[in-house]
A and B are shown apart, each in its own frame.
Chain A
Amino acid sequence: MKVEAGGMALVDKYCQDYGSRARELKGQGRKIIGGLCAYVPVEIITAAGFVPFRIKGSVSEPITRADVEMETIVCPLVRSCFDLAVKGRYEFLDGLVIPHACDSICRTYDVWKYTLGLPYSHFINMPHSDNDTSLEFYKTVLNTFRKSLGKFAGREISDDSLLQAIKQHNENRARVRQLAGLRRSDPPLISGEELARALIAIMSIPVEESISLLGDVIAEVKPRASATGVEKPRIMVVGAQLDDDTFIRLIEDSGAWVVADDLCPGTREFWPDADITADPIDGLAERYLQKIKCARTYREQKGTYPEYLEERFGHIGGFIRDFAVDGVILYIYKYCDPFGFEVPAVKSYIESLGTPVLYLEDEYSKSTIGRLRTRVQAFLELLGAK
Chain B
Amino acid sequence: MTEYFAGVDIGSTMTKVVIMADAVVARVVGASGPEHRRLANRVMESALADAGLGFSDIAYVVATGYGRINVPFADRQITEISCHARGVASLVPAARTVIDIGGQDCKGIKLKDGRAVDFVMNDKCAAGTGRFLEVIAEALGLSLEEMGELSLQSQHDIEISNTCTVFAEQEVVAKLAEGVAVADLAVGVHKAIATRIHGMVRRLKVEREVVVTGGGALNTGLVRALETKLGLPLLVSPEPLLSGAIGAALLGKDTVRDAAEKGIPVTRSRQPLKEATFFS
The smallest beta-carbon distance between A347 and chain B, in angstroms, is 10
Contacts of A385 in B (CB 8 A): 82, 115-116
- The docked-state distance in angstroms from the alpha carbon of A40 to that of B59 is 60
Find out whether the CB atom of B79 lies under 8 angstroms from the CB atom of A378. yes
Using A374-B66, A378-B119, A382-B116 as known contacts, say yes or no to A368 and B81 having CB atoms under 8 A apart: no
Interface residue tally for chain A (C-beta within 8 Å): 13
Find out whether the CB atom of A381 lies under 8 angstroms from the CB atom of B124. no
Contacts of B119 in A (CB 8 A): 378, 382
Using A361-B123, A370-B66, A371-B124 as known contacts, say yes or no to A377 and B79 having CB atoms under 8 A apart: yes
Q: Which of A363, A370, A371, A382 contacts B82, CB < 8 Å? A: A382
- The docked-state distance in angstroms from the alpha carbon of A260 to that of B2 is 47
Give A358-372 interface residues, CB cut-off 8 Å to B.
361, 363, 368, 370-371
Find out whether the CB atom of A381 lies under 8 angstroms from the CB atom of B123. no
Find out whether the CB atom of B80 lies under 8 angstroms from the CB atom of A381. no
B206 interface residue (CB < 8 Å to A): no
A375 interface residue (CB < 8 Å to B): yes
Contacts of B80 in A (CB 8 A): 374, 378
What is the interface of chain A mostly: helix, strand, loop, or mixed? helix
B140 interface residue (CB < 8 Å to A): no
Which one of B66, B115, B124 has the highest number of Cβ atoms from chain A below 10 Å of its Cβ?
B124
Contacts of A374 in B (CB 8 A): 66, 79-81, 121
- The docked-state distance in angstroms from the alpha carbon of A368 to that of B124 is 8
The smallest beta-carbon distance between A371 and chain B, in angstroms, is 7
- The docked-state distance in angstroms from the alpha carbon of A371 to that of B116 is 19
B117 interface residue (CB < 8 Å to A): yes
Contacts of B82 in A (CB 8 A): 378, 381-382, 385
The smallest beta-carbon distance between B204 and chain A, in angstroms, is 12
B78 interface residue (CB < 8 Å to A): yes
The smallest beta-carbon distance between A356 and chain B, in angstroms, is 8
Give B106-137 interface residues, CB cut-off 8 Å to A.
115-119, 121, 123-124
- The docked-state distance in angstroms from the alpha carbon of A290 to that of B117 is 37
Contacts of A370 in B (CB 8 A): 66
Encoded as 1 (CB less than 8 Å from any A CB) or 0, chain B from 9 to 46 comes to: 00000000000000000000000000000000000000
CB-based nearest A residue for B65: A374
Give A277-294 interface residues, CB cut-off 8 Å to B.
none
- The docked-state distance in angstroms from the alpha carbon of A97 to that of B47 is 64
CB-based nearest B residue for A381: B82
The smallest beta-carbon distance between B87 and chain A, in angstroms, is 14
- The docked-state distance in angstroms from the alpha carbon of A44 to that of B124 is 43
Contacts of A378 in B (CB 8 A): 79-82, 116, 119
CB-based nearest A residue for B68: A374
- The docked-state distance in angstroms from the alpha carbon of A371 to that of B81 is 13
The smallest beta-carbon distance between B154 and chain A, in angstroms, is 35
Find out whether the CB atom of A381 lies under 8 angstroms from the CB atom of B81. yes
CB-based nearest B residue for A254: B79
Which one of A356, A361, A375, A382 has the highest number of Cβ atoms from chain B below 10 Å of its Cβ?
A382
Find out whether the CB atom of A381 lies under 8 angstroms from the CB atom of B79. yes
CB-based nearest A residue for B121: A375
CB-based nearest A residue for B251: A381
Give A333-386 interface residues, CB cut-off 8 Å to B.
356, 361, 363, 368, 370-371, 374-375, 377-378, 381-382, 385
- The docked-state distance in angstroms from the alpha carbon of A381 to that of B77 is 11
- The docked-state distance in angstroms from the alpha carbon of A375 to that of B82 is 11
- The docked-state distance in angstroms from the alpha carbon of A377 to that of B81 is 9
- The docked-state distance in angstroms from the alpha carbon of A378 to that of B86 is 13
The smallest beta-carbon distance between B71 and chain A, in angstroms, is 15
- The docked-state distance in angstroms from the alpha carbon of A277 to that of B207 is 56
Find out whether the CB atom of A382 lies under 8 angstroms from the CB atom of B66. no
Which one of A361, A371, A374 has the highest number of Cβ atoms from chain B below 10 Å of its Cβ?
A374
Q: Which of B81, B121, B123 contacts A382, CB < 8 Å? A: B81
Contacts of A361 in B (CB 8 A): 123
- The docked-state distance in angstroms from the alpha carbon of A185 to that of B116 is 29
Contacts of B66 in A (CB 8 A): 370, 374
Contacts of A377 in B (CB 8 A): 79
- The docked-state distance in angstroms from the alpha carbon of A53 to that of B80 is 43
Contacts of B117 in A (CB 8 A): 382
Encoded as 1 (CB less than 8 Å from any A CB) or 0, chain B from 73 to 85 comes to: 0000011111000
CB-based nearest A residue for B84: A378
- The docked-state distance in angstroms from the alpha carbon of A377 to that of B79 is 7
- The docked-state distance in angstroms from the alpha carbon of A361 to that of B120 is 12
Find out whether the CB atom of B121 lies under 8 angstroms from the CB atom of A381. no
- The docked-state distance in angstroms from the alpha carbon of A208 to that of B66 is 48
CB-based nearest A residue for B79: A378
Contacts of A382 in B (CB 8 A): 81-82, 115-119
Which one of A363, A371, A375, A378 has the highest number of Cβ atoms from chain B below 10 Å of its Cβ?
A378
- The docked-state distance in angstroms from the alpha carbon of A296 to that of B118 is 29
- The docked-state distance in angstroms from the alpha carbon of A375 to that of B124 is 13
- The docked-state distance in angstroms from the alpha carbon of A60 to that of B66 is 22
The smallest beta-carbon distance between A350 and chain B, in angstroms, is 13
The smallest beta-carbon distance between B147 and chain A, in angstroms, is 28
Nearest 6 pairs of A and B residues by beta carbon: A378-B81, A378-B79, A381-B82, A377-B79, A385-B115, A382-B116
Question: A residues bordering B, Cβ < 8 Å?
Answer: 356, 361, 363, 368, 370-371, 374-375, 377-378, 381-382, 385
**What are 30 pairs between A and B in contact, CB < 8 Å?**
A356-B118, A363-B124, A368-B124, A370-B66, A371-B124, A374-B66, A374-B79, A374-B81, A374-B121, A377-B79, A378-B79, A378-B80, A378-B81, A378-B82, A378-B116, A378-B119, A381-B78, A381-B79, A381-B81, A381-B82, A381-B116, A382-B81, A382-B82, A382-B115, A382-B116, A382-B117, A382-B118, A385-B82, A385-B115, A385-B116
Known contacts A378-B80, A378-B116, A381-B81, then 16 further A-B pairs from the complex at CB < 8 Å, ordered by chain A residue: A356-B118, A361-B123, A363-B124, A368-B124, A371-B123, A374-B79, A374-B80, A374-B81, A374-B121, A375-B121, A378-B79, A378-B119, A381-B82, A382-B81, A382-B115, A382-B117
